[in-house]
């Protein structure tokens, strides 16, 4: 955004940045077609693998030189030291003075990670044990509702990181879930979300998990109070029922108690876990109830495997580093505005939505750690839909539009629901789309098919459109953990080089403050004195007049 007149940052003054700028100019006139024609081994060489997660990045507009230059930039900007600082528990979230230790959530017993001199790994395992005990009691029917009935419905109430991870993981791992139970997720302050979630459920069989790191978030608290009223209205108003139907997941015991949930029924986590990095903490309790503690631990092991890979593998073979560098390459040197994530796996239908918070709340920053305005682009817009659906919707623009949209295709060798030829057809489309984007179809090829001259330009595919292909064997809890950690660390890599704080989210505050003020104005019995801009004032008046 408008970086024209800014003084040069330390990043753009680096020799490797200047080299990349010059190199990008050369690369703009090189095509993927040429790169593949001139180097027939490229498709095998430009690949990397981590514990069963295979990345083919050959269909990117890069050469070995590009990678050398990007790696030089990573080294010059101290990526290695920054990774070590995160794993060491340094307070790298400087604007909130916090350590950033989601990696501790999946550290095996016995590993030591210190925050302010205290090893946090034992506490992580204590909470996991408590979650496991509770999940087993709910799943087995030992935990009963106030009227003695088994719990059959679990409703997670949360928003942002306290919702998107749980929803995504539930959908992703549905195959492994207890099908006799119903799981729903209420996030929006729009009352419709709650009303539709409970309309066909029996209160006496329903358990609410109120998930909020702060336990002060307006949407979640409003929904939690509504849930409490709903439950009490259905169960005859006996306050004692709340203890059997509500548990809390939070870092804020004081607020949990204030809400009326016994802190014995609270599952804690810590301020060194960011909301968008919390789905593998107690925030994942709904996931654990759905798939069981053993599968949940498998997922944690997947996260941990990718953590180890990120921390220890040389950058040139390091999946999150490569993914992060490629994103930076297109964002800063090719003017790409977005990244499309396209999972060819129906169970991953909420994965792009999950990644939106992870990537954009993390890297949507306009100042450096030192507080100066950046003079380069930071976090791109992430978006996507599962294939093959997207092909019949927005792929047209990716193939023939005027924008460059780097794509991540995610596919699996095996389906969890093998039905006839479905899976081969699905995977044929993954490979075909990446091929079509990269190599396109020339005017000569179109003409050779007997196309009328006037129609030829419409049917030409320019190609040269980059993509990654990520392949794994089959979607398991472990693989899901690996994939999430892959993107978490890719985001980290980008932020480390951009020199921004990927772990705060001040940009969400202003709207919250204004909404609180406006709410008072919408509900005021007397006409309020409005002191907003003329547009906001008029909208408020119109709403008041017609509500």
- Nearer Cβ to ligand F6P (220/469): 220
Q: Which residues pair with 266 in a beta bridge?
A: 248
Residues 35-54 that bind ligand F6P (CB under 6 A): none
Residues 73-112 binding ligand F6P (CB under 6 A) are none
- Shortest distance, position 90 Cβ to ligand F6P, whole Å: 21
* Cα angle 141, 145, 146; round to 5: 145
Give the burial class of 54: count Cβ atoms within 10 A of its Cβ; 0-12 exposed, 13-18 middle, 19 or more buried: middle
362 binds ligand F6P (CB under 6 A): no
The Cα 544–Cα 328 span in angstroms is 46
User: How far apart are CB 124 and ligand F6P at their closest, in Å?
Assistant: 18
**Closest approach of ligand F6P to the CB of residue 340, in Å:** 23
| Closest distance to ligand F6P from the beta carbon of 227 (Å) | 15
User: Count residues contacting ligand F6P (CB under 6 A)?
Assistant: 14
26: left (phi over 0), alpha (psi -120 to 50) or beta: alpha
Contacting range for ligand F6P; rule: CB under 6 A; set: 214-222, 228-236, 239-247, 257-265: 214-222
CB contact set of 536 (below 8 Å; sequence gap of 6+) = 518, 530
| Closer Cβ to ligand F6P, 354 or 412, answer by number | 354
Q: How far apart are CA 547 and CA 543, in angstroms?
A: 6
387 binds ligand F6P (CB under 6 A): no
Q: Which of 220, 327, 493, 499 binds ligand F6P (CB under 6 A)?
A: 220
Annotate 213-266 with DSSP letters as a single string.
SSS--HHHHHHHHHHHHHHHHHTTT-GGGHHHHEEEEES-HHHHHHHT--GGGE
- Answer yes or no whether residue 276 interacts with ligand F6P by CB under 6 A: yes
* DSSP character string of 471-493: EESS--HHHHHHHHHHHHHHHHH
Of 152-171, which residues contact ligand F6P (CB under 6 A)? 159-162
Q: Please give the positions annotated as active site.
A: 361, 392, 512
* Interface with ligand F6P, residue 508, by CB under 6 A: yes
**To which residue do tokens 């004032």 refer?**
537
Contacts of 198 (CB under 8 A, 6+ apart): 155, 184, 206, 227, 230
How far is 412 from 430, CA to CA, in rounded Å? Answer: 10
Q: How far is the CB of 167 from ligand F6P (least distance, A)?
A: 13
E strand map for 385-508: 407-412, 467-472
Considering only residues 123-152, where is the footprint of ligand F6P by CB under 6 A? none
Query: Closer to ligand F6P at the Cβ: 168 or 328?
Result: 168
Cβ of residue 509: shortest distance to ligand F6P, in angstroms? 8
* Cβ proximity to ligand F6P, 257 vs 301, nearer residue: 257
- 14 to each of 242, 366, 491, how far by Cα in Å? 59, 19, 21
Minimum CB separation of residue 485 from ligand F6P in Å reads 18
Residue 223 touches ligand F6P, criterion: CB under 6 A:
no
Q: How far is CA 341 from CA 168, 350, 383, 395, 438, in A?
A: 14, 11, 6, 12, 16
Residue 472 touching ligand F6P (CB under 6 A): no
Q: Would you count residue 522 as binding ligand F6P (CB under 6 A)?
A: no
Q: How far is the CB of 10 from ligand F6P (least distance, A)?
A: 28
Nearest residue (CB) to ligand F6P, 212 versus 499: 212
Binding residues for ligand F6P restricted to 256-275, rule: CB under 6 A = 275
432 lies in the site for ligand F6P, by CB under 6 A: no
Nearer to ligand F6P, 210 or 446 (CB): 210
194-213 positions binding ligand F6P, by CB under 6 A: 212-213
Beta bridge partners of 11: none
Contact flag: residue 66 with ligand F6P (CB under 6 A): no
Do 71 and 316 contact (CB within 8 A), yes or no? yes
Place of tokens 């996931």: 287
Among positions 214, 222, 404, 429, the unique one binding ligand F6P when judged by CB under 6 A: 214
Closest to 123 measured CA to CA, from 259, 237, 272:
272
The residues that touch ligand F6P, with contacts defined as CB under 6 A, are 159-162, 212-214, 217, 220, 275-276, 361, 505, 508
């Amino acid at each position: 955004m408008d970086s024209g007149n800014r003084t040069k940052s330390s990043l753009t003054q680096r020799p490797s940045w200047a080299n990349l700028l010059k190199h990008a100019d050369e690369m703009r006139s090189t095509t993927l077609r040429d790169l593949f024609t001139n180097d027939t081994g490229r498709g095998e060489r430009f690949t990397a693998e981590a514990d069963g997660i295979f990345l083919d990045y050959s269909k990117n507009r890069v050469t070995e030189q590009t990678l050398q230059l990007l790696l030089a930039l990573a080294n010059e900007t101290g990526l290695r030291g920054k990774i070590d600082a995160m794993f060491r528990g340094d307070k790298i979230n400087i604007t909130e003075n916090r350590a950033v230790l989601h990696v501790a959530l999946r550290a095996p017993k016995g590993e030591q990670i210190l925050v302010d001199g205290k090893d946090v790994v034992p506490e992580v395992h204590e909470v996991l044990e408590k979650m496991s005990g509770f999940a087993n009691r709910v799943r087995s029917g030992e935990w009963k509702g106030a009227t003695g009935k088994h719990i059959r419905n679990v409703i997670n109430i949360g928003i942002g990181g306290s919702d998107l991870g749980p929803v995504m993981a539930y959908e992703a791992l549905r195959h492994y879930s207890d099908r006799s139970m119903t799981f729903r997720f209420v996030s929006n302050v729009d009352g419709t979300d709650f009303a539709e979630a409970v309309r066909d459920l029996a209160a006496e069989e329903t358990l609410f998990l109120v998930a909020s790191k702060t336990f002060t978030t307006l949407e979640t608290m409003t929904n939690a109070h509504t849930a409490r009223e709903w439950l009490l209205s259905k169960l005859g108003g006996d306050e004692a029922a709340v203890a059997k139907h509500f548990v809390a997941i939070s870092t804020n015991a004081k607020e949990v108690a204030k809400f009326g949930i016994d802190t014995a029924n609270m599952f804690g986590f810590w301020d060194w876990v960011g909301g968008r990095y919390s789905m593998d903490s107690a925030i994942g309790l709904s996931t654990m109830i759905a798939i069981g503690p053993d599968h949940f631990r498998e997922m944690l092991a997947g996260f941990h495997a990718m953590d180890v890979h990120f921390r220890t593998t040389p950058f040139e073979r390091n999946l999150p580093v490569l993914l992060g560098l490629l994103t930076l390459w297109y964002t800063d040197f090719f003017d790409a505005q977005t990244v499309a994530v396209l999972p060819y796996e129906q169970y991953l239908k909420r994965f792009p939505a999950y990644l939106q918070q992870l990537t954009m709340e993390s890297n949507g920053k306009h100042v450096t750690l030192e507080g100066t305005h950046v003079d380069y682009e930071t976090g791109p817009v992430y978006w996507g839909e599962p294939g093959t659906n997207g092909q019949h919707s927005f792929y047209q623009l990716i193939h023939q539009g005027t924008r460059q949209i780097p794509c991540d295709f995610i596919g699996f060798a095996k389906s969890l629901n093998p039905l006839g030829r479905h899976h081969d057809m699905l995977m044929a489309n993954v490979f075909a789309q990446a091929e079509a984007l990269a190599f396109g179809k020339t005017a000569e090829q179109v003409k050779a098919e007997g196309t009328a001259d006037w129609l030829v330009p419409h049917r030409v595919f320019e190609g040269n459109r980059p993509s990654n292909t990520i392949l794994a064997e089959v979607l398991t809890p472990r693989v899901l953990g690996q994939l999430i950690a892959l993107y978490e660390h890719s985001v980290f890599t980008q932020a480390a080089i951009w020199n921004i704080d990927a772990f705060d989210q001040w940009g969400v505050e202003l709207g919250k403050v204004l909404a609180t003020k406006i709410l008072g104005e919408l509900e005021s019995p007397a006409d309020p004195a409005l002191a907003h801009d003329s547009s906001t004032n008029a909208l408020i008046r119109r709403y008041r007049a017609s509500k």
